Structure 1
Amino acid sequence: MNQSRSRRPTIIDVAKRAGVSKSTAARALTGSSNITEQTRERVVKAAMAVGYERNHLAVGMRSGRSGMLGLVIPDITNPFWADVARGAQDRAVRSGASLLIFSSDWDPAAESAHLRALRRARVDGAIINPVADNFDDLDRFGLPFVFIGSSAERFPDVSSVGSDIGQAVRLGLDHLVSNGHEAPSLILGPKSRLARARFLRTVHEHCVERDVDPAILALEDGEYTVEGGRHAMRRLLERPHLGHVAVFAANDMMALGAMMAGS
């Protein structure tokens, strides 16, 4: 094999092609301000011509930053989380960073493995929606992070982005009540999730305001997946004397599974 073709182009190759020194080529590619635009353009064109790519690992070791961020979400197949991933990626790109995306599939072991991979990659930080809300400390993440999801409620001093679950549940219940469904059945998420408690708290408050006993509502728990919704709905349908059923599911994937339960 021809060695000149097998080896990776270096900054020296770029400098030779651009007709500048190695240090000038390096400064031009790192955005240094003491380089003329004409020189910078010549160096960039030379880098493209020889196929040069910066060694981001080496740059990161010198600067203390890798230029990479991580995102750990529970289910990339869920359109909600896919939108979150797309939004995070778009914002990272605008900032000149790369985003590593992992889906934990609601598996604590997979989540831990992804976090270890991000630490090994020396990412500058991560956005995390933990699989379980009942962890005891934050040190296990081992890197700067921002929470998304219900976990942030336990840690008010941690940077986070979340949804107003209470408002969403109230709007859903108002819609059902306006259509004559005073006591809808509920398909909820796992008991380990704070989102489930917030969902139920809003349901209880809504019932009390309308002088309805919350105890009359039929409840089923499930995973936040299509299969979780399907199994929960089948259990509801197997209950004796349940009659006509209006169901309020905790997320869209569970709702889809509930609609498929009779098929």
Structure 2
Amino acid sequence: MTEVQTETVHPRASAPAIATEGLGIRFRRNRRGRRSFKDLFGARKRRTRPGEFWALRNVSIRVEPGESIGVVGRNGQGKSTLLKLVAGVLIPDEGTVTVAGGVAPLIEITGGFVDDLTVRDNVYLTAGLHGMTRAQIDAKFDEIIDFAEIGDFLDTPYKHLSSGMRVRIAFSVIAQLDEPILLVDEVLAVGDKAFREKCYRRIEELLEAGRTLFFVSHNERDLRRFCTRGLYLDRGALVLDGPIDEVLDRYNADSGTAKK
């Protein structure tokens, strides 16, 4: 039987922050295709059906608490999929994902936000979905809004915000979570340079406090700034796991261009 396990455990001194073993997930190119329970729990060696492809396969990693990991690779090679598996948004078709503690995911800026609700209501809704109590949100509300620099838009429907403003409020909420693992996937590329630098300083503060970082970016300077270790994914496979400089050098050599 295929072993499908996404597990959250309480952190221990000897436990990794994140561990995957033989991790794999497949998708169908035809969005209308549906997967049955037989697909989910079928044999590991089942032949891939026409129209299916493995977004990730046989990925095994161990991340220690406090590590900062940069995930690199061309578009469509499984980087965001890996983060979503760690976040528990996706369920693997084979292998295991074990996460010690919770995650603060900044993966998709629209996740948890409702277009017709105001900024104020969305802060309470989204923070609540991530486990904050109303009392905790009340205590952090002004700090969230001040960081996002969005105080003039508290009663504006979320759907009327620009993409940059949506990033501001999403990051401000996620940055207040006490979860030990921070997942960041490209979203900070949207928005103005000054606010992006403000977010980056906040990430550095979280790293100094011992948080674990999973960071997906095509910006080489950002990867070198935050990450000490890199994972290079290509066609769903883990090509290289090593120091970030070594991983970026290999990726640049394979792609034939240096990333700015």
TM range (shorter): under 0.3
Instruction: Please state which structure has a larger fraction of its residues in strand.
Output: 2
Instruction: Please state which structure has a larger fraction of its residues in helix.
Output: 1
- TM-score normalized with structure 1 length: 0.23
- TM-score normalized with structure 2 length: 0.23
Larger radius of gyration between Structure 1 and Structure 2: 1
